[in-house]
Amino acid sequence: MRARAGLAPHGWTPAARRARPPSVTEETLRALPVVGAAFVAQPTLRVARALLGKVLVHRSAAGTTAGRIVEVEAYRGPADRAAHTAGGRRTPRNEVMWGPGGRNVVTRAAGEPEAVLLRALEPVAGIELMRMRRGVDGGADARLCRGPGNLCRAMGIDRTSNGADLRRSAVVLLDAPSVPARAVGRSPRIGVAYAGRDAALPWRFYVRDSPAVSRPPAAAHPAARRNGQRAPAKTRAARVRSTGAAGRSPSR
C-alpha cells in the first residue's frame, strides 16, 4: 500500500518507533480513505493483523483526536472461551457483536460474533485534548492511549459509541500504510487466564518496540508456557467488529 502524505510508516525502525509519533492535521486525516466493507469482511485474525497501522479518529464537539493502531487482540466468537460470546452467550452487553461487521465492538458477518479489541494507539492528532480527558499534564504522549481503558478515555469513546458504524459515524477507521511483517509481534492475549487452553492462543498482534504498546510479552502465562509461548500480564480496551473486524471500546 502506498504511503499517504503525513502518515508514512516512517520506516518502522526501532529509532523511529521510540520517537514521538508525528502529529497530523485535520486536512491530512480527511485525505485518508475510510476502510471499506471488504476489509472488515475478512477472517478476524487477518483483520486483526491488518488493523496495525490503520488510524482511529473521533470527531466531537470538543475537537478531533486520532491515533495509529499499534496493538490489537482477536476474539473469535462462541468457540473462543476468552470471548464475551463464548458458548453462544447473547446479552445486552454483547448484542452488537451479533450484528453486521464494521461496527464499534464487532467483526465478521451478522450472526458471527467475532471482534478485534484495540489495545493501544500512537496519538497523532488532538494530543492536548487527550491529555485533558485523561487529566494528565506530563509524561510521554505514547502513554495516553496505552491500554483499552486509557484509549477510550483519551479518545472520548464511551458507551454512546457502542454499535457505531466505523465507516460513517463520529468514530471512524481510516486506511493508512500497513506495518511490515518484521515490525509485528504476536503473543497470547492479556488477562484471559480464565479461558483455559484458549488463553495460550497467540491472537495478540502488536508493533514491536512501539512505546505505546500496553505491555511487552514478558511474563509467561502458565498455559502459554506449556505451549512454548510468552504471554503478557493484565490490562483494559476499544473494539472493531469484523464480519472480519473493528475496534471495540466498551466490550469484547
18 located within any domain? no
Rounded distance, CA 206 to CA 172, Å?
20
4 located within any domain? no
34-92 pLDDT, tens digit per residue, is: 998 888 888 888 999 999 999 999 999 999 999 999 999 988 765 554 454 544 555 55
73 located within any domain? yes
Residue 197's pLDDT band (cuts 50, 70, 90): confident
Does the pLDDT value for residue 152 go beyond 70? yes
Looking at the 3D structure of the chain, how many domains does it have?
Answer: 1
Highest mean pLDDT among 19-33, 57-71, 137-151, 235-249: 57-71
Mean pLDDT of 180-184: 96
- Of residues 2 and 103, the one with the higher pLDDT is 103
Does the pLDDT value for residue 185 go beyond 80? yes
Which pLDDT score is estimated for 57?
96
177 located within any domain? yes
Mean pLDDT of 153-180: 88
Q: What range does the domain containing 191 cover?
A: 25-88+99-247
186-220: string of b/e by CB count within 10 Å (b at 16+)? ebbbbbbbebeebbbbbbbbbbbbbbbbbbebeeb
CATH number for the domain including 163?
A: 3.10.300.10
Q: Are 239 and 113 in contact (CB under 8 A)?
A: no
195 located within any domain? yes
147 located within any domain? yes
Does the pLDDT value for residue 181 go beyond 70? yes
86-140 pLDDT, tens digit per residue, is: 445 555 555 544 444 444 444 445 555 567 889 999 999 999 999 999 999 888 9
Rounded distance, CA 202 to CA 150, Å?
23
Strands 63-75 and 245-247: unpaired
199 located within any domain? yes
Model pTM?
A: 0.73
User: What phi and psi, each to the nearest 5 degrees, are found at residue 243?
Assistant: -85, -5
6 located within any domain? no
- Report the chain's mean pLDDT, rounded to a whole number: 73
